[in-house]
Chain A
Amino acid sequence: MLIFGLVIAALLGPLYVFLNLERRSLQRYAIGSATAVAGAAITPLVMGRCGFTEGTSGVDHLLSLTLMWGAAWIALIALRSFFDRADGKAKASAAMAGEIRTGGYRMGWWVPWVLLSPTLLILVVFLYYPAFRTFTLSTKLTKLGAPRSIDVCFGNFTELLILNPAKLVAYPLIAIAVIYGARFWMNHSGPGTWSRKGADVASVVGMLAIFVAMYLMFSPGGGGQVDYRDVYVNTLIITVGIVAFGMIGGLAVAYLAFRKIRGGSAYRTLLIWPYAISPAVAGVLFFMIFDPTAGIFTHGMDVVFGIDVPNYRESAMLAQGSIILASGWKILGYNILFYLAGLQTVSTDQIEAAVIDGASSWQRFYKIVMPALSPITFFLLVTNLVYAFFEVYATVDFMTKGAPAGKTSIAIYEIIRVGVNNGDLGRGAAQSVLLFAAVIAITLWQFRTTGSKVSYGGA
C-alpha cells in the first residue's frame, strides 16, 4: 500500500508539471516526479508506517494515502514557485512577496534579519511549533497531565468518520463533480438565457454539495464512534445564523445611517460601539435577557403576548437562536463600521443617473450599491466566519455551556470539552486539525478571490 502511494505520487509529479508549467522538459518531468515522491515520503517518515500496518482498516489506509498525496501536492506547489522564479515569471512568489519598492539600505545582510527576528522568533515558537505539536498530538492517546502517551495513528480521526472507505472517497468526488459540472455548464451558456439560470442554480447546488458530502463523511456515532455529525450540524447552524444575521443587519443599519443627516457622527458612534464589547460580556448580557426566571424576554413574552417561553437552555432551537442573537448583536457594530466606510465610496453619480432613469429604491440598492460593496461584503464574510468559529466560545460558555445535549457545542467548544474538561488531549487535537483544515480552506478561498494580503481583524 505504501509502495502504491509512492508510485501514484511519482505519476502525479509529471502530471502537475504538465498542467502548471509553461516550459516543460524531460528534466523537469523527472524533477517533478522526484519532488512528489519526496513529499509523499515525508509523512511515513515522520509518522512511521502506522497507517499501513497489519490490522488497520481501510479508512486508515485512505487517510494515510490522502496525507501522503497532500504532502506531495504541497511539495509540487513549492517546486512550481521555484520554477516560476527561474523562468523569470515570478508570478506567484514575487507578487506575494510584493517587491513594492526597489532600492533601500545598503547595509550588512544581517540588519533586516535583526529587525525581523523578534517577530519570527515568536511566530515560530508560539505558532508554528504549537501547530506542529497539534498534529503530533492528534495521533496519540494522551491524558492531560499524564506523562505517558500511546500512539494510535489515525485512530482519533477514524472515530470522527464513517468507516466505509468507498463512501469516504465517493462523497467528495461527487461534490467536486457537481461543482465542475456547474462551472462547465456556466461557460457554455449564454448570458441571460434559461440555460444560464439553470447553471446558476447548479453552482449553488455545487456549493451545498460540499457541505452535504462533509455531513455524510462524518460519523453518526455509535459503536465506539463519536457523533461528529451533530457537532458539524450545530456548528453549521450557529455559524450561518451569526454570519447571516450580522451581515444583513449590518448592511441594513449602515444603509440607513450613511446619509448626511444632522448629528450623523453621534448616531454612528451609537450604532457601532458593540465592536468594543467582548464576546464574554455579550454572553452575560443576553444571559440576563433570556434568563428563564429573571429575564425580561421571558417575562415580556408572558405579560404582553401570554406566551409561556420554555427555558432556552432546554430547547435546541431556542438555545441556538439565543447564541446567534447574542453573537450577531456583538458583531453587528463591526459590520456597520465597515459597511459605513464602504458606502462612502459608492458613486453618487451612478445613483443619480439611476434615479433619473426611474429606478426604484430597491433596484438602486440591488443593482448599484450591492455590487459596489461586494469587496467589503467578502472581507466581512471571512472575518465574520472566523469570529463565529472561535470568538463565540466565550458567549456559549456564559449562556448555555453547550446545553441542551451539546446542541450549542460548536466545534471549538467541543475541542475544549474533549481536550481539557475530559483531559483527552489527543482526541481534542484531532478535532483541532479538522477545524484547522476548515480555516485554511476559508483563507485560501479568500486569497484566491481577492488576492489581498492584508487581514484587519483579530490577531
Chain B
Amino acid sequence: MAEGLTPGVKKRTFFRGRQWTFHLALSVTAFVIAFPLLYAALIATQTNTEIFAFQLTPGSALKSNFDAVWFGRDFAGAMWNSTVQAILVTTGKTILSLLAGLAFVYFKFRGKWIVFFLVLVTLMMPTEVMILAMFRFVSEIGWQDSMAAITVPFLASATGAFLFRQHFANLPAELLEASQIDGASPIQFLTKVLIPLSWNVIAALFVIQFVYTWNMFLWPSLIIRDESKQVVQVALQTLTNIDGALTYGPLMLAAIIASIPPAIIFVLMQKPFMSGFAIGQQK
C-alpha cells in the first residue's frame, strides 16, 4: 500500500510502457501530421517533369520556382498587403477590446446590460452568414479594392472584449482605488496599470487574431478584385495557373511562404498564448 504511493511506482503505473515506445509513437505521429507540408516542400523544389517522374529527392527548380512566385506574380506585394491587414486588424481589435473591457468592468452605467447583450449576440453572427449583404453594402460605400474593406469591419471583437472583461474582473480591486488616489485618468489607469498586467491575454488575443486575419479568404476574394491589392491567401489562386498550365512547384512554394508568418508567430508566442487561454478558462 505504502509502496504503491511512492514516487517511483507512481511513475511506472501512470506512464505505462517504456519511454521509447512513446518517443516512437510521437515521432511517427509528428511525421504523419507534417507529411503534407514536407511533401509540398519537396515539390516546391521540382520542375513539372521531376514531379511527374515522382522523384523523391530535392529537385533543381527551387530558384526558378521562387522567381516565378516572387517576381513573376508579385507575391511579395500580396505578402505585404496581408501583413498590413493583419497588423491593422490585430492592433485595432486589441485597442478596442481593451477599451470595452475597461468600460465593462470599471464603470457602472445605465443600459450596461443592453450593451453587454448587443456585444454578446454578435458571437452568434459570423460575418459569413451575412456576407452577401455585406458585399453589397461595402460596395455601395465605395470600398472595393481598399484596405479599409478588409480591416475596418473586423476591428470590433466580442471575443476580445469578453476576454479582457474576464481578466480585469479577476484583478484585485485595490488597483483602481490606488490609481484613483494618485489621480490617474481611466486611460492612464489602462496604460499604466492594466496593460502591464495583461500581457498574457494580449499575447493570446494577438496570436488568435493574427492567424485569423492572415488566413482570411472568402471576404477578400469577394471585395478585392484588383490583383495588386489582393491578400496572400487569395493570391495563391492565381498561381494555380502559370502560362496556361498547372505548375505545381511554384504553387507549393507559395503555399509554404504564405504560412511562414503565422507559423512563426504561433510557435514563438506559444507560452503566453497558452497561459492567456488558461486565464480565459477560469470561468
Contact indicator A273/B263 (Cβ below 8 Å): yes
Q: Is A454 touching B280 in the complex (CB atoms < 8 A)?
A: yes
Residues of chain B with a CB closer than 8 A to A262's CB:
19, 23
CA distance A161 to B165 in the complex (A): 43
Q: Does B259 contact A (CB under 8 A)?
A: yes
- The reply to whether A105 and B107 form a contact with Cβ atoms under 8 Å apart is yes
What are the residues of chain A within 8 A of B10 when measuring CB–CB? 352
How many residues on A have C-beta within 8 angstroms of the other chain's C-beta atoms?
110
**A288: interface (CB < 8 Å):** yes
What's the least CB distance linking A230 to chain B, in Å?
20
Q: Taking the complex as formed, is A453 at the interface, i.e. its CB lies under 8 A from any CB of chain B?
A: yes
Closest A residue to B262 by CB, please name it: A276
Complex interface residues of chain A between 233 and 287 (CB less than 8 A to chain B): 253, 256-257, 259-263, 267, 269-271, 273-282, 284-286
Q: A256-B25, A280-B233, A435-B129 are in contact. Are A456 and B263 (CB under 8 A)?
A: no
What's the minimum C-beta distance from A295 to chain B, rounded to whole angstroms? Answer: 9
Chain A positions near chain B (C-beta within 8 angstroms): 93-94, 96-98, 100-105, 107, 109, 111-113, 115-116, 118-123, 126-134, 137, 144, 253, 256-257, 259-263, 267, 269-271, 273-282, 284-286, 288-289, 291, 293-294, 296, 299, 329, 332-333, 337, 341, 348, 351-352, 355-356, 361, 386, 389-391, 393-394, 397-398, 412, 415-416, 419-420, 425, 428-429, 432-433, 435-436, 439-440, 443-444, 452-459
Q: A103-B173, A284-B255 are contacts. A122–B26 as well, Cβ < 8 Å?
A: no
Bound: A394/B14 CA distance, A: 42
Q: Name the B residues within 8 Å of A261 (CB-CB).
A: 15, 19, 22-23, 26
**Interface SS majority for chain A:** helix
CA A248 – CA B4 in complex, angstroms?
A: 33
Verify A107–B186 contact, CB threshold 8 A. yes
B125 touches A119 (CB 8 A): no
| Interface: B71 (CB within 8 A) | no
A341 near B263 (CB under 8 angstroms)?
no
Chain A CB within 8 A of B155 CB: yes
Say whether, besides A127-B127, A289-B36, A394-B218, A115 and B135 are in contact (CB < 8 Å): no
User: In the assembled complex, which residues on chain B have CB atoms less than 8 Å from the CB atom of A398?
Assistant: 236-237, 240
Residue B81 lies at the interface, judged by CB distance under 8 Å to chain A: no
Asked, given contacts A291-B248, A393-B218, whether A439 binds B124 with beta carbons under 8 Å apart, the answer is yes
Residues of chain B within 8 A of A333, CB atoms compared: 33
B residues near A (Cβ < 8 Å) are 4-5, 10, 13-16, 19, 22-23, 25-26, 29-30, 33-34, 36-37, 39-40, 43, 48, 51-52, 54, 96-97, 99-100, 102-103, 105-110, 112-113, 115-120, 122-137, 152-159, 161-163, 165-166, 169, 173, 176, 180, 186, 208, 211-212, 214-215, 217-218, 221-222, 233-234, 236-237, 240, 248, 251-252, 255, 258-259, 262-263, 265-267, 270, 274, 277-278, 280-281, 283
